[in-house]
Structure 1
Amino acid sequence: MKKFMVALLVLLVAVQWPFVRTEARQIDYKSPEFRAVASQFACTCGCGQDHFECDPNTCNLTKEFKKDLSDMMGKGMNKDQIRDYYVKIYGEEILTAPEKSGFSLAAWILPFAVLAAAAVGIFFIIRKWVKKKRDIETLSEPSGDEDGVESEILSSIIDEERKKYL
C-alpha cells in the first residue's frame, strides 16, 4: 500500500507539474543579460542604434520593445529564442549584425571585397602609368655619347656657315 501511495503521489506531481504557474521574474534594463538580448536588435525609429542604446525618453518604439523583451526574458526565454521570434516576425532587417551564413554574410562582406579589389587595381594602374612616364623620359633624354656627337655636328655646321658669310 505504501508503494502505491508513493507511485500515486509521483504520478500526481508529474501530471500537475506543467500546470504549476511560476511567477515571471523582473528583469533590470541595465543588466548585462538584458544588454546582450536588446543590443542584437536595431531600433526602427531611424536613430541607427540598437534597442539597448536607443533613448526611451524620445522613442516610444524602444519603450514597448524593451517591455516585450523583459516579459519574454521573465518567462524564461533565452537570447536565441527571442532572436528567432523577432526574425520570424520582422526578418533579418531587425538584426544589428548579419547571420553568419549564407547570403546575409555575403551581402555584408561583398562591398568591402569589391572596394579592396578596386584599390588594388588602381594601385597597379597608377604604377604602370608612372613606369611608362619614366620610360618616355629616359628615351627622350640623350645619353652622354650621343650628346657629344650632336654638339660636334652642330658646331661644325655653325663654323661652315660662318666661313661662307665672313
Structure 2
Amino acid sequence: MNKKFSIGILIILFIFQGAFAVFGAENKSIDIKSKEFKAVASQFICTCGCGQDHYSCDMAGCKNTEAFKAELVDMMEKGMDKDEIREYYVKALGEEILTAPVKSGFSLTAWVLPFAAIGGAGTGIFFIIRKWVKKNGNSEEMVADDQEKDEIEEEILSSIIEEERKKYL
C-alpha cells in the first residue's frame, strides 16, 4: 500500500508539474505596439530605403518591415532579449543595420571625425579672418587719407566741369 501511495503521489506531482509548465509559464504574446517591442525594433534601420527604423517605417507596401517585425516577435517569444537580437542581426547583416553606431572602435571614429574636422576648420577660418582684420587695424588712417584724396578729386572734377560749362554757355 505504501508503494502504491508513493507512486500515486509521484503521478500527481508529474501531472501538476505539467500543469504548471502549461499554465504557469509565461505564454507571452508580444504586442507590436508595446514599449518592449519598440525598444528592440527601433535599433534597426529599415532596408526599404525610407531611412526610418523598423518600428516607425510607414512606407506603403513595405514588405521588409512586416517580415522583420514578425521575425522580431518570434525571437522575443522564444525568450531572446534586446542585446541578443542585436548581436544576431549584426552578425548576419553587419553594423549597417543599426540606427546608431556601436560606441567603440572604428565605428565611433567614423561618426565623430567629420564633426571634429568641421569644428577644426571653422576654428581655423575664425583665426584667419581675425588676423586679416587686425592687419587692417590701421584702417582709420587709411580712411582719412582716402577722404582727403576724394575731396581733392572732387575739387578737380568740379573745376573741369565749370571750365567746360563756361566754354559752351
Residue 134 of structure 1 deviates from its aligned partner by 1.7
1:132 maps to 2:132 = no
- The corresponding residue for 1:63 is 66
Q: Distance in 2 between matches of 1:43 and 1:113?
A: 28
Indicate the larger mover: 22-31 or 99-108: 22-31
Residue 139 of structure 1 deviates from its aligned partner by 5.5
- The corresponding residue for 1:30 is 33
- The corresponding residue for 1:159 is none
SS of the aligned residue for 1:66 comes to helix
- The correspondence of residues 15-164 of structure 1 with structure 2, limited to 5 A, is 25-55=28-58, 57-135=60-138, 137-138=139-140, 140=142
Q: TM-score, normalised by structure 2?
A: 0.68
Structure 1 unaligned spans of 5+: 144-166
Summarize deviations over 1:31-86 as a string: whole Å, max 9, x none: 00000000000001110000000026431100000000000000000000000000
Q: Which amino acid aligns with 1:133?
A: N
Q: Distance in 2 between matches of 1:142 and 1:23?
A: 88
| Aligned-pair Cα RMSD in Å | 3.2
Q: TM-score, normalised by structure 1?
A: 0.69
Q: Which amino acid aligns with 1:37?
A: V
Q: Which amino acid aligns with 1:84?
A: E
Task: Give structure 1 regions of 4+ aligned residues with deviation exceeding 3 angstroms.
Answer: 20-24, 138-143
SS of the aligned residue for 1:127 comes to helix
Residue 26 of structure 1 deviates from its aligned partner by 1.5
Q: Distance in 1 between matches of 2:59 and 2:141?
A: 71
Structure 2 unaligned spans of 5+: 146-169
Residue 133 of structure 1 deviates from its aligned partner by 1.5
Q: Distance in 2 between matches of 1:130 and 1:141?
A: 15
Summarize deviations over 1:8-42 as a string: whole Å, max 9, x none: x7xxx9xxx9xx89786321011000000000000
Between the two proteins, the alignment pairs up a number of residues equal to 133
Give identity over the alignment, percent: 60
- The corresponding residue for 1:153 is none
SS of the aligned residue for 1:134 comes to coil
